Structure 1
Amino acid sequence: MAGIVNYISESYNELRNHVTWTTWPEAQRLTIIVAVFSIIFSLAIWGVDTVFSSIIEQYFEWIKS
């Protein structure tokens, strides 16, 4: 049990004294960048999925005929 307490104590000390945290404005800016790129990437995947779905649907219609 002492090992776990020591680990938690050292982890807290590391986070408190040795980690460089970003400033609040930079964190906001980076969050917006990630959100924008996530939206763009999801729209690109949706577009490719829609195109491939149409192609596959046309292929199966062609085979049925």
Structure 2
Amino acid sequence: MEKLKLFVAESYEEMKHKVTWPKYGELQRSSILVLVASLIFALTIGLIDLAFENALEWFYKAF
């Protein structure tokens, strides 16, 4: 039980004094960047999937 108390106390001290937390504006900009990048990535993968689907459909109809 002492180890758990020590772990919690050290974790609290580290989070309070050693971790640098981003400002709200920086956090907002980062979140928007991640959202936009995720949407671009999803659209790219969707277009590649659509192209492969159409190519395989054409190939299967040819034979």
With structure 2 as the length reference, what TM-score do the two structures score? 0.95
Deviating beyond 4 angstroms after TM superposition, the runs of 4 or more aligned structure 1 residues are: none
Where in structure 1 are there 5+ consecutive unaligned residues?
none
Q: Which residue of 2 aligns with 1:24?
A: 24
Between Structure 1 and Structure 2, how many residues are aligned?
63
Could you report, residue by residue, the CA deviation over 1:12-58 in whole angstroms, capped at 9, with x for unpaired residues? 11001111111000000010011001001100000000000000111
Q: Which residue of 1 aligns with 2:45?
A: 45
Distance across 2 between alignment mates of 1:24 and 1:10:
26
Task: For residue 4 of structure 1, report the CA deviation from its aligned partner.
Answer: 1.1
Alpha-carbon RMSD:
0.6
Task: For residue 8 of structure 1, report the CA deviation from its aligned partner.
Answer: 1.1
Q: Which residue of 1 aligns with 2:36?
A: 36
With structure 1 as the length reference, what TM-score do the two structures score? 0.92
